[in-house]
Amino acid sequence: MCQKCQIGILVFCLISGGIALENGLARTPPMGWLAWERFRCNTDCKNDPENCISENLFRTMADIVISEGYAAAGYEYINVDDCWLEKERDRFGQLVPDRQRFPRGMKALADYVHSKGLKFGIYEDFGNYTCAGYPGVLGYLRTDAETFASWDVDYVKLDGCYAHPSEMDRGYPEFGFYLNQTGRAMMYSCSWPVYQIYAGMQPNFTSIIEHCNLWRNFDDIQDSWASVESIIDYYGNNQDVIVANAGPGHWNDPDMLIIGNFGLSYEQSKTQMAIWAILAAPLLMSVDLRSIRPEYKAILQNKKIIAVDQDPLGIQGRRIYKHKGIEIWSRPITPLYQNYFSYAIAFLNRRTDGTPSDVAVTLKELGLTSPTGYRVEDLYEDVDYGVLSSQTKIKVKVNPSGVVILRADVQNDFKRRIPYYTTQRTIYNPLSQVFRIRNNGF
């Protein structure tokens, strides 16, 4: 087919909306390990060979994800971020991995990750350059999509440095179109909305949902509690716009898990994991798995909290209460009974006054109103409260900058639990009464 004909067909598809992402992926939020927050753009393999961005680092992390139980807990992607490239394309216009740090190439690295039963992700940028100054995809969208497919890539993160936000409404779907055209299913992570928000534009989330599996809305996470708090605030303050966009196949991404690094205390780490689960967030660890302490590893591998994050309904939770440093976040989950959801409830203490805070509230005040009651358990402390009625007042003690996360499974009677229903049983309307709660305190 002539080049003008191909361009004409693509333009028609873009205008008609006929290039929706059709990869069948991300039915629950993706889980894995990502290099960026912990290892950044360390390319000094001569002086720091153990920590530089190289094939050895990713092979090592893949080994640990398997041997230390992360894969068994659900983490499956090993994702390269920026700084893996040579500074120039080859004479055919192809991307070239850094020849010193990735001497066997990206196909060989993908093969190694796949040999472990894991999946392989890679990074690029919609602009002329990546954020760190390496070649971007602009002008090479089809070529680079085909290159990634030839390397057996499973996940593509497309950043937005050195690009015009006004061109992203066309460019991100176009690159997704070429990913689809390869015939290989590749998870597509977009930075499309955040760059438009920075530019004062209103993102077209209808199109973003149609073309991306996940996307960034807010600032990059840094290794600090202040950064985590800013993300929590952003998602709470903007939840009326954000929440409805999440669901199976398409997720809001508040950025990486920094649990086990340097900036969070033990309590703050528990908070990030719990709130990310309430947000139905991708769980992408960015930590040195070789040296992580056991208590932080236990947070990342908490299967009960991971089950909340991976709930098949795919409903993102909301902040339902905020007063004097105490917040309550709620997420509808399976199982369901009649018109009643089960819930995950997170009590968050934003205070720093040095003593735990008591929060007492009835299940009814939390919106849990089924007459058949709820079986309630604490997901960090493994405390089973038994089956409680909606009139029961429950009291939790929440540490400063800490969290208590409960799971409340609706019952079909007071003696036995019901089986989990499929996601087709209930259609969630975020403007319905699911999240109604009094705003005047408890």
Distance separating alpha carbons of residues 50 and 20, to the nearest angstrom: 41
Cis ω for the linkage preceding 103 (within 30 of 0): no
What's phi and psi for 141, nearest 5 deg?
-60, -50
Instruction: Give, in order, the Cα–Cα distances in Å from 104 to each of 2, 78, 109, 136, 150.
Output: 36, 17, 7, 22, 15
Q: Exposed/middle/buried for 406, CB within 10 Å: 0-12, 13-18, 19+? A: buried
- DSSP for 308-360 reads HHT-TT----EEEEEETTEEEEEEEEEEEETTEEEEEEEEEE---SSS-EEEE
Tell me whether residue 44 is one of the annotated catalytic residues: no
Instruction: Give, in order, the Cα–Cα distances in Å from 288 to each of 116, 158, 214, 296.
Output: 19, 24, 24, 11
CA dihedral of 333, 286, 194, 154, whole degrees rounded to 10: -80
Catalytic one of 159, 309, 311, 409: 159
Instruction: Give, in order, the Cα–Cα distances in Å from 268 to each of 14, 70, 132, 239, 260.
Output: 44, 21, 30, 22, 11
DSSP 8-state symbol, 275: H
Distance separating alpha carbons of residues 14 and 177, to the nearest angstrom: 9
Distance separating alpha carbons of residues 224 and 67, to the nearest angstrom: 29
Distance separating alpha carbons of residues 390 and 129, to the nearest angstrom: 55
Helix (H, G, I), strand (E, B) or coil at 63: helix
Tell me whether residue 223 is one of the annotated catalytic residues: no
Distance separating alpha carbons of residues 94 and 147, to the nearest angstrom: 8
Assigned token pair, 161: 């440095």
Q: List the beta strands (DSSP E) in 183-236.
A: 187-190, 214-216
Assigned token pair, 394: 């429950």
Q: How many residues does the chain have?
A: 442
Distance separating alpha carbons of residues 121 and 154, to the nearest angstrom: 6
DSSP 8-state symbol, 133: S
Catalytic one of 111, 152, 220, 288: 220
What's phi and psi for 209, nearest 5 deg?
-60, -35
Catalytic residues: 159, 220
